[in-house]
A and B are shown apart, each in its own frame.
Chain A
């Protein structure tokens, strides 16, 4: 049997996803109309012999998460459980802490995946690859090719080109090491816990020697990337399966729009029923658009490409939406125009208002380019990025909100450009 563990992090993480992560745990943020995590779970549920999915993180149990868990179990007919860490234990520490739960039932292998990635999830391919590389207990990480410059923002993998063994691993190097990067999706056998256990033991001994000088540090905090992969590289244990299918991180809110585009495009194969089509009495659809059935959309509106419309959204006459995510309960009044933006829950955009951001898409002419999840500021200036309206923001008629981030529950009374509005 097989299992999957999805690392969902916790409320102190994902700050680059603010202000949207104030309202909903980031892993539940809708991407292409469904919670980010649902794409992972759906891919796992399709793998034969997958028996259980465990979410590990340090969110307090909350209603949103509970509701999602019960929905996912019903929808995908597979047990999905949440295991809460007592503190942030790192990507290795979390799974080590819950190793008994993961190993119960005796899985011969299990996937580990980060929640904040968007991927085609080539899981069957990774399983086949595992059988053909190394011994029966070998570990597999999913890798993909990046360009030289961007590779340094990721974990970099040097492989033996004949055997695909990982010879060297380094997290976010300051100089170029390799253009193969870690996708944050792994296939482990139970033997991995011996390696994590060894690091745990060593941490404990180190702490005894250091006589509690670093009182805050815990032996349990273990990072898979720096603490485990770096040590496993070159030991004949760790292999890289390279994919050329789509993959992206979802760090910043801007990357959620890009990830939506990738998943919407995948729906042509996996969920054509989720893609809106042009029909009598409906809005004009251009490209890939997801519309929740409860949304109320005027037939004179024009939507797409890459638009996701959430539950209960109201869209008035002559509204234009392109490259955007409209979250549930939002209202877009007549003639308004929303481009490269995320409109928060229950927000309202007035007549003829324009809400516009600047896309941060990867260079379309470079097949290996990834999205840059940059910091908000560069040279003391807000970097032009997508416009984000937090929950319950009111934009009056006829104004423009350009390249701005509006925190929740604000009533704006004029135009804003290149600002964060507290």
Chain B
């Protein structure tokens, strides 16, 4: 079975992290974002993953070769020379997707959830039409495009963009399974699958909705990355609590790489992820943060809602909060206060940032 992942471009929404590492390789809860999806696909029986990319990265190619080996599957990169939207890449990969008659998965790359690929396949085969999209419940449907469908069968009636009166609280979760015949609907030109393809399929009775159980988050920007981390760790608490760190000094859900080092009198959590080789010195207070590989937080600092980039160093008695994101190899001097700072890679910060801003 095959899957196409819409990786897309430079991942600008997740800058400054994506200035150093292609978005699919940015670690989310100590695993590259892409691998969360790929591993779940493999578990559901997928043996060929096609990444639709609009820019080529040697780092990504090299990493995918390694993952092919590790997972024993095939990973292809399908490179679009011009942006093709969300449907065009399917046409570009047509030959790879149609060398057999099996249905294939299509995913947006920023989505994190308990991936229901086996359920999708079963549901799709059961209704027997061309497409199935996964939908998820949201609190404020007026901010999104919602899906109106038959509760019993899942057959989609229509899509409504930012509804002003309540029609549905289910939105497209960015995960699909299609039969190969669906590709006849798509031409090799920039096309939106959501706006141009799905409404037609729905009208013809060929599109079904399956409701997602559990959490769902688009982690394409730092604020949502952190929210998604909280959800993921909570789901880990239920699915695999042995992976979470507990004991004195740990509060709530905390994920710690075995090679991370933690000093004395720290209080960590809830909702913290510490990557490989991370060092927290004595007396650090950290909550709702991701600390990426090789970063160091020096003693007595206080961090909340931050992403600390690879190999960055945060000084002593630093306070950082409000979705402060440090790019790779950033140095924050002692005793500073960073409030919502977005710091580009390889910067040395010598002055406090009392109000949110970008540090070039």
Contact = CB atoms under 8 A, between A and B. Distances in A.
Contacts of A3: none
Contacts of A400: 319, 321, 337
Given A334-B265, A335-B302, A400-B319, A320 B283 contact: no
Contacts of A339: 335
A417 B352 CA distance: 14
A398 B285 contact: yes
Contacts of A335: 265, 283, 285, 300, 302
Instruction: Tell me what chain B mostly uses at the interface: helix, strand, loop, or mixed.
Output: loop
A400 B336 CA distance: 12
Q: Which of B282, B302, B304 is the most central at the interface, judged by chain A CB atoms within 10 Å of its CB?
A: B302
A190 interface: no
A319 B283 CA distance: 10
Given A335-B283, A335-B300, A354-B319, A322 B354 contact: no
A41 interface: no
Nearest to A353: B302
Interface in A352-411: 352, 354, 356, 398, 400, 402
A352 B354 contact: no
B248 to A, nearest CB: 15
Interface residues of A, number: 17
B317 interface: yes
Interface residues of B, number: 15
Nearest to B334: A320
B78 interface: no
A127 interface: no
A339 B302 CA distance: 15
Contact of B282 (A318, A319, A337): A318
B173 to A, nearest CB: 36
Contacts of A275: none
B299 interface: yes
B354 A402 contact: yes
A50 interface: no
Contact of A402 (B283, B300, B337): B337
Contacts of A207: none
A318 B337 contact: no
Contacts of A337: 300, 317, 319, 335
B302 A318 contact: no
Interface string B273-313: 00000000011010000000000000110101000000000
Contacts of A334: 265, 283
A69 interface: no
Given A337-B300, A352-B302, A318 B283 contact: yes
B265 A317 contact: yes
A319 B299 CA distance: 10
Given A335-B302, A398-B302, A417-B354, A318 B265 contact: yes
Contacts of B283: 317-318, 334-335
A339 B336 CA distance: 10
B316 interface: yes
Interface string B304-333: 100000000000110101000000000000
Given A335-B302, A354-B302, A320 B319 contact: no
A334 B299 CA distance: 12
Contacts of A319: 300
14 contacts: A318-B265, A318-B282, A334-B283, A335-B300, A337-B317, A337-B335, A339-B335, A351-B285, A352-B285, A352-B300, A354-B302, A354-B317, A398-B285, A402-B337
Given A334-B283, A337-B319, A356-B337, 9 more contacts: A320-B316, A335-B300, A335-B302, A337-B300, A337-B335, A352-B302, A354-B302, A398-B285, A400-B337
Interface of A: 317-320, 322, 334-335, 337, 339, 351-352, 354, 356, 398, 400, 402, 417
Interface of B: 265, 282-283, 285, 299-300, 302, 304, 316-317, 319, 321, 335, 337, 354
Pairs of residues from A and B, 4 with the lowest C-beta to C-beta distance, nearest first: A318-B283, A337-B317, A318-B300, A320-B317
